[in-house]
């Protein structure tokens, strides 16, 4: 089965990235991160750096796209890189364009994050909530409800270590994985991992 080669994707060892996921552009994925099939990580307007221990579920879209009023071919536009910290959870169907995401955040199903939002740590963006303001969300904020109400919670969401361990064991049994690519070596043609 021929794989699509993506020479600029840097997948660390220990990361579990399914072959059915779409990774385009300059994307770095840290160890112990799980990327489910049909997840999409697209680095159009700049590189994406994803830390370790993240969980990116099906149909999640992490995209570093051009801002709306700038055409892709405009000159003099600096590519901004998107950083995602550790232990974040991107649930099914969410869309994240936020350039900076900290640690231990949970972005629930079908949530929508705009480009100018900065998530710090411990934030929970509820299901179907759209956050497209230009602000820094304080730590431990919960955004929930149809009106995207906010409140502070006293505890951070726990890192999903149990879930991550389980998935790292089970996913390779049912899906082909993208092979880990070392950052320094020349790009290797992705091969199917067979069991």
Partner 1 sequence: MSQRWVELRRREMASLLQPERVLYLVHGEKKIRSPLSQLYFCRYCSELRSLECVSHEVDSHYCPSCLENMPSAEAKLKKNRCANCFDCPCCMHTLSTRATNIPAPLPDDPTKTAMKKAYYLACGFCRWTSRDVGMADKSVASGGWQEPENPHTQRINKLIEYYQQLAQREKLERDRKKLARRRPFMPLAFSQHTIHVVEKYGLGTRLQRTRPGAPITSLAGLSLKEGEDQKEINIEPAQALDEVEPLPEDCYTRPINLPEGTTLRQRLLQPDFQPAGASQLHPKHKHLLIKRSLRCRKCEHNLSKPEFNPTSIKFKIQLVAVSYIPEVRIMSIPNLRFQKESQVLLTLTNPVENITHVTLVACEEGDPEDINSTAKVMVPIKELVLAGKDAAAEYDELAEPQDFQDDPDVVAFRKSNKIGFFIKVVPQREGLGDVTVSFKIRHDFRNLAAPIRPSEEGDASTEAIWLTHHVELNLGPLAP
Q: Determine which residue in the list 153, 161, 163, 191 makes contact with partner 1, applying CB under 8 A.
A: 153
Q: Determine which residue in the list 154, 184, 185, 194 makes contact with partner 1, applying CB under 8 A.
A: 154
Say if residues 154 and 166 touch (Cβ distance below 8 Å). no
Query: Measured between alpha carbons, how far is residue 81 from residues 28, 127, 133, 171, 186 in Å?
Result: 11, 26, 19, 29, 22
Instruction: Outline where DSSP puts E strands in 100-181.
Output: 100-101, 106-107, 112-113, 118-119, 124-125, 130-131, 136-137, 141-144, 149-152
Say if residues 41 and 178 touch (Cβ distance below 8 Å). no
Q: How many residues bind partner 1 (CB under 8 A)?
A: 14
Q: How far is the CB of 164 from partner 1 (least distance, A)?
A: 20
User: With respect to partner 1, which residue has the nearer C-beta, 49 or 124?
Assistant: 124
Q: Does 163 participate in binding partner 1 (rule CB under 8 A)? A: no
Site for partner 1 in 121-150 (CB under 8 A): 124, 126, 141-142, 144-145, 149-150
User: With respect to partner 1, which residue has the nearer C-beta, 152 or 170?
Assistant: 152
Q: Does 161 participate in binding partner 1 (rule CB under 8 A)? A: no
Helix (H, G, I), strand (E, B) or coil at 34: strand
Applying CB under 8 A, the residues found at the interface with partner 1 are 124, 126, 141-142, 144-145, 149-155, 157
């Amino acid at each position: 089965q021929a794989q699509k080669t993506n020479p600029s994707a840097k997948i660390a060892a220990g990361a579990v990235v399914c072959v059915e996921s779409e990774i385009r552009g300059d994307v770095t994925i840290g160890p112990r991160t799980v990327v489910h099939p049909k997840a999409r990580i697209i680095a159009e307007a700049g590189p994406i750096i994803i830390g370790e221990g993240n969980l990116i579920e099906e149909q999640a879209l992490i995209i570093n796209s051009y801002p709306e009023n700038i055409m892709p071919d405009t000159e003099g536009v600096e590519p901004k890189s998107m950083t995602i910290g550790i232990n974040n959870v991107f649930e099914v169907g969410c869309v994240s364009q936020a350039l900076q995401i900290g640690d231990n955040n949970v972005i629930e199903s079908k949530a929508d994050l705009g480009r100018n939002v900065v998530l710090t740590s411990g934030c929970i963006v509820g299901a179907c909530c759209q956050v497209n303001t230009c602000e820094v969300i304080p730590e431990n904020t919960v955004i929930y409800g149809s009106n995207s109400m906010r409140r502070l919670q006293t505890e951070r969401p726990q890192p999903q270590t149990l879930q991550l361990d389980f998935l790292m064991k089970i996913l390779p049994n049912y899906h082909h994985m993208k092979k880990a690519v070392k950052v320094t070596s020349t790009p290797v043609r992705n091969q199917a991992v067979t069991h």
